[in-house]
């Protein structure tokens, strides 16, 4: 007998099956939101939702960022720039290695967070694919997935 066979089971198989079932149900329900937040999070990591320099984001990306940040599906009302914006800027610190290290660390941190978001997208898609390959519960899973996508979409449309 191997060591694994000689040890008693810590958890009953029925409990583990219930946990797996609940995990799948919850996963199907929240998967659309997880995908939404991971995708819009990548855009926000690199500030692709804000105008800067010669770049102007498409209105849809701006609206999706507002849903992510403010739970409102509408473009932000832009008024005149505040008076402080016209004030002279303070002198920048002298050039040196410290600023380079901060910029490098920020760039690397953004890359790590973007990689995490891509991993989350891939993992969520793999989970959806595995769940939907079960023919016995495919209809239920599709229903949960549809509810998980439809409820936030309707609420976001009403928030505009």
User: Residue ranges of the domains in the chain?
Assistant: 12-76+123-160
Contact 74, 63 (CB under 8 A): yes
Average pLDDT of every residue of the chain: 84
Alpha carbons within 13 A on the beta-carbon side of 110? 13
Question: What is the C-alpha separation between 144 and 97, in angstroms, rounded?
Answer: 53
What are 115-157's pLDDT values in tens digits?
999 999 999 999 999 999 998 999 999 999 999 999 999 998 8
Q: How far apart are CA 82 and CA 84, in angstroms?
A: 5
Quick one: residue 95, left, alpha or beta (phi over 0 = left, psi -120 to 50 = alpha)? beta
Enter the pTM of the model. Answer: 0.74
């Amino acid at each position: 007998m191997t060591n694994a066979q000689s040890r008693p089971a810590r958890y009953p198989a029925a409990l583990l099956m219930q946990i797996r079932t609940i995990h799948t149900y919850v996963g199907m329900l929240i998967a659309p939101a997880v995908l939404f937040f991971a995708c819009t999070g990548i855009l926000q990591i690199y500030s692709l939702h804000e105008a800067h320099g010669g770049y102007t984001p498409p209105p849809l990306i701006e609206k999706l960022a507002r849903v992510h940040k403010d739970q409102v599906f509408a473009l932000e009302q832009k008024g005149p720039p505040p008076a402080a914006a016209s004030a002279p800027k303070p002198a920048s610190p002298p050039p040196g290695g410290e600023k380079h290290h901060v910029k490098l660390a920020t760039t690397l941190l953004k890359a790590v967070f973007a990689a995490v978001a891509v991993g989350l997208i891939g993992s969520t898609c793999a989970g959806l694919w595995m769940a939907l390959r079960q023919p016995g519960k495919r209809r239920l899973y599709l229903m949960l997935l549809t509810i998980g996508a439809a409820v936030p979409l309707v609420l976001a449309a009403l928030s505009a």
